[in-house]
Amino acid sequence: MNTWSEMYDRAKQVQNSRTISPFIEAGGVAAAILTADNNIYVGVCIDTSSSLGMCAERNAIANMITHGESKIMKVLAIMPDGNVGPPCGACREFMMQLDKDSKNIDVLINYDTLETMKLGDLCPNWWTDSRFNQI
């Protein structure tokens, strides 16, 4: 099994659209990230009536950070229809801020063809590359 298939399967296992309360729904979108330490973390979206929810990718990243890691190598998100799609702008920005090499994260765009894009290509002219040089 290739890494993308393993990531897809792990995310699919947690994807379960459900109502948590009259204000919160979760699990319509699932994500998996592969870290530099070769660990896979997953997460699901949490949608709230007050717009304070969390995307599946950021949920997976929170899981990764909770476990002491911060460098992502690959990311995928499974939409409610089972297809993969690129992260939203907020998730792209969050990932770009994690590490000076985040622009090299592989983002799965098409599961059937295994087409990928680099996060940096999804975030052209990112607003603050120079800040990493100050560290």
Residue-wise pLDDT tens digits, 42-75: 999 999 999 889 999 999 999 999 999 999 999 9
pTM as predicted = 0.92
Q: What is the CATH number of domain 3-132?
A: 3.40.140.10
The rounded distance, in Å, linking the Cα atoms of 4 and 84 is 11
How high is the pLDDT of residue 11? 98
β pairing state of 106-110 and 72-78: parallel
Residue-wise pLDDT tens digits, 4-45: 999 999 999 999 999 999 999 999 999 999 999 999 999 999
Tokens 């792990």 appear where? 10
Question: Which DSSP category does 51 fall into?
Answer: S
Rounded mean pLDDT, 93-119: 96
What is 57-95 written as a DSSP string? HHHHHHHHHHTT---EEEEEEE-TTS-B-PPPHHHHHHH
